[in-house]
Amino acid sequence: MSTRTEDGSRKARVVVIATGGTIASSSKPGGPAVARRTAAQLLGSTGYGDVEVEGRDLFNLGSYLLGHRELRLIAEAVAAEIARDDVTGVVVTHGTDTMEETAFLLDLVHGSDKPVVLTGAQRAADQPDSDGPRNLREAVAVAASPEARGCGVLISFAGRIFAARRTRKHHTVAAQPFRTLDGGPIGRVDPTGVRVTARPVRPAPLDPPGPRFDDTRVDVVTVHPGADAALARAAVRAGARAVVLAGTGVGNANHALLKWVTEAVAAGTVVGLSTRVAEGPVVPTYGNGGGVDLVRAGALSVGGLPVYQARVLLALLIAAGAPVTEQALAAHV
């Protein structure tokens, strides 16, 4: 049961689901950093004011080790905690390497007004200047705040709050590693509290991932000078149900890949068209092997998303047996 504040209102309750990452990592003498710390150990390192916090250990892995099964387990754990009447919001501690994929998947299937907030660290827990405790404290504040209700799934990191959709890790080691494509943070956390200054427009949620999601393979093939279709063909032979082309510029390829797209789409493989460029949409403009020809051959534009979020969206739709159409993708870009 939740306790009450001095004015008689019920205290906010936040559940922290620990999955590992740098925030949970420490190193033995002479060894590399490895995720080791539990939710209780993470929560014991800081204070949360009037917010009641409870921890739950899901697993303890660097996010570079996660597969679709682990992403599904996180989604299931979040949904279970969100369904509790006494829970105000949920925080997921997570490695920054693939936080953008997990956050986006959670946002795609999140149908509650309750906030879900991902956070982590750039410096390991045993470093004297670790950013983990502050990031966790701020994430709990966001998850408990009425300001964050209805905003979907968020990333809270180094005092900034980002919507999950179109947010990616843009720097390997900076204290603030996240950036939203063609946008910015939607809020901040500072000594005055949580402030949300822009509210995301959110589509209707998709069905949560089931066990079929675990083995739904979607690969990414990057276009570069001299690229041919060898990697794309190999991906399909390995079992890929879809391939995302990270095209050059506004979404271009070449004649070899255009020929492959035509053959692959005819054979039932979904081909998504994104861009390897860090900012900006896919805008089919060029023929002669460019984006116009790729779309005419059946490639579907997913270029409003970072390429690896586009991959997650395709995997979720395919695993659910849902139609993968331009309209279905556009609703979630």
Catalytic residue list? 22
- CA 198 – CA 215 distance, rounded (Å): 36
CA dihedral 273, 119, 151, 44 (to 10 degrees): 160
Rounded Cα distance between 298 and 296, Å, is 5
Which SS3 state, helix, strand or coil, does residue 20 take?
coil
CA–CA distance, 70 with 76 (Å, rounded to integer): 10
Nearest-angstrom CA–CA distance, 209 and 147: 28
Distance of CA 49 to the CA centre of its chain: 28
Q: Of how many residues is the chain composed? A: 333
User: E strand or H helix at 75, and its extent?
Assistant: helix 68-82
Structure tokens at 281: 């949409």
Record the tokens describing residue 276, joined without a space. Answer: 């390897």
